[in-house]
Amino acid sequence: MEKYKITADGILADVMIDTSTAIGYMLKIPELPPATNALMDNIKRELISRVNVTFAEILDPKEINNLKNKFIVNAEAILKNKVSEISEDTKSLIIGRLVQETLGLGLIEFLLNDPNIEEVVINSASEPIRVYHKVYGWLETNVHVSSESQILNYSSIIARRVGRQISTLNPLLDAHLVTGDRANAVLYPVSTKGNTVTIRKFSRDPWTVIDLIKNKTGNQEVFALIWLAIEYELNIIISGATASGKTSFLNAIAPFIPPNQRVVSIEDTSEIFLPSYLYWSPLVARESNQEGKGAVEMLDLMINSLRMRPDRIIVGEIRTKDQARVLFEAMHTGHSVYATLHASTASETIQRITNPPINVPKNMLEVVNLNVVMFRDRKKGIRRISQIAEFIVNYEKDGVAIKPNLLYLWKPGNDKIEMRNKGDKLFEEIIRHTGMTEAEIKNDLKEKENFLNRLVKSNIRDINSFGNAIKEYYLNRK
């Protein structure tokens, strides 16, 4: 169905995708003859004995590249001493495999270097490794791990890279690597099949609004509306089920923030990646160490962020009552806030926020200007903006009533998002703060829509190119 090449540690490999077969993801790397394999094992033993690695180097995740360079230099010297004549291709292959087997995760390094893969899962030594492909979903690979002890070794390598430990006494590991990837490991017998490792890859090339327009997640019209809301400092909550694309969407619309404002992002997993021109301070929560000390909770970061004089606050996800309380207080004190929440519709978003465990008073939802709801169709492998709504709060005799006013609704039949109602409350908010007329707001929306059209046609899609285009728009609209 598809063929492409990937590179890991200087080795070029072929990938073949065929979902009609049991092994949907076939990795093919250059093979070495038996005699060369024996030579490589011999070099590996000599390399390990020759290269002095300090404990500090092992524990310092930033030292991994220096460590790799040290191994490469020594491997080249040993190889030159043992074999006088060798082709550059064979030399690169031997050294690359040595680095992967001594410092890395073996053949798994190829999977981690495939930009099309989002997730890599080792379920046990008795099963092939599985991957989640951006286009084809879950695929079985032809890559295996030789033994349970090898999986334990990989888990330990991952743990050391973040200064942690995993053992029989501490069989669970949840770690964020320097690359931004998130690794989770569970050891046997807690994982009854065998030792398990799951690596969720951080996108090196994050989605932008142009990508989301091209893959029909939304259209220029709705993104112009979201852009308008962000420009005029309105608050947005992005809802959706698990893996519906909430964080990716939040990351994609963040470049709409004007360049002269300070942005503070708060996450428990580092997933937000903003263009370089933005004045951005990323904050990430931290788990406690082995002694149960040193934890930094998201709530701590939220409270601290208010002392950093932010113009915009981005929150990875609202989970608790305390987080929501601080977040809504920030909205009420004039900060522009963007956050994600687990809820499948605008009505469910209201229910989730106003009921336990979050339990925010209904009247506080007045400060939420837009609710964007994301949807994922697993069968078709698509993600869509399913609803865009504003919250209407009414004060009645028996209490506060709140309901969503759906501005846009996605129709699965024709796969289009269509306008349902005009955003009266949204427009009133902008008019009150800017003095613009409704006609001027509509012209502004049309101008933004046309500008996004131009970017789509010019394929200005990577995060920094798109961000710089938005920056230029703010600095010189004409």
**What fold, for 209-475?**
Rossmann fold (3.40.50)
| pLDDT, position 294 | 85
Site of tokens 């890559």: 143
Identify the CA nearest to 401 among candidates 350, 344, 343, 356: 350
**Long-range pairs for 434-441: beta carbons < 8 A, 24 or more residues apart:** 434/232, 441/228
| pLDDT, position 70 | 82
Candidate from 83-92, 270-279, 334-343, 397-406 with smallest mean pLDDT: 83-92
Four-residue CA torsion sign, 191, 192, 197, 198: negative
For residue 124, give Cα distances in angstroms to 151, 194, 205.
Answer: 8, 5, 30
| pLDDT, position 149 | 95
How many whole angstroms separate alpha carbon 279 and alpha carbon 372? 25
How many whole angstroms separate alpha carbon 265 and alpha carbon 335? 13
- Report whether pLDDT(65) > 80: no
DSSP states of 193-259 as a string? TS-EEEEEPPPSS---HHHHHHTTSS-HHHHHHHHHHHHTT--EEEEESTTSSHHHHHHHHGGGS-T
Q: What is the pLDDT of residues 301-340, one digit of tens each?
A: 999 999 999 999 999 889 899 999 889 989 988 899 999 9
Whole-structure pTM value: 0.81
Q: What is the pLDDT of residues 31-56, one digit of tens each?
A: 877 878 788 888 888 887 777 665 55
Q: Kindly report the number of other CB atoms within 10 A of residue 15's CB atom.
A: 20
| pLDDT, position 53 | 65
Q: Which token pair is 234? A: 């309105």
Q: How far is CA 169 from the centre of its chain?
A: 31
**Mean pLDDT in residue range 404-419:** 96
- Report whether pLDDT(244) > 70: yes
How many whole angstroms separate alpha carbon 455 and alpha carbon 468? 11
- What is the phi-psi region of residue 216: left when phi exceeds 0, alpha when psi lies from -120 to 50, beta otherwise? left
How many whole angstroms separate alpha carbon 220 and alpha carbon 320? 34
DSSP states of 323-384 as a string? HHHHHHHHHHTT-EEEEEEE-SSHHHHHHHHHSTTT---GGGGGG--EEEEEEEETTTTEEE
The residue with greater pLDDT, 363 or 35, is 363
Confidence of residue 181 (pLDDT cuts 50, 70, 90): confident
The residue with greater pLDDT, 287 or 302, is 302
Candidate from 15-19, 119-123, 314-318, 396-400 with smallest mean pLDDT: 396-400
**Mean pLDDT in residue range 183-210:** 92
* Residues whose CB is less than 8 angstroms from the CB of residue 213 and which lie 6 or more positions away in sequence, other chains included: 219, 220, 223, 452, 456
In single-letter form, the type of residue at position 312 comes to: R
Q: Kindly report the number of other CB atoms within 10 A of residue 224's CB atom.
A: 21
Q: Cα-flanking dihedrals φ and ψ of residue 382, to 5°? A: -125, 155
Identify the CA nearest to 200 among candidates 140, 271, 272: 271
Cβ contact 108:120 at 8 Å: yes
Q: Kindly report the number of other CB atoms within 10 A of residue 120's CB atom.
A: 23
Give the number of C-alpha atoms closer than 13 A to the C-alpha of residue 29, restricted to the C-beta side.
Answer: 23
Q: Kindly report the number of other CB atoms within 10 A of residue 155's CB atom.
A: 26
Domain ranges of the chain: 2-200, 209-475
Q: Which helix (H) or strand (E) holds 274?
A: none
| pLDDT, position 143 | 96
Four-residue CA torsion sign, 42, 60, 156, 96: negative
Convert 70-101 to b/e letters by CB count within 10 Å (16 or more is b): bbbebbeebbeeeeeeeeeeebebbbbbbbbe
How many whole angstroms separate alpha carbon 100 and alpha carbon 119? 19
CATH architecture of residue range(s) 2-200: 2-Layer Sandwich (3.30)
| pLDDT, position 59 | 55
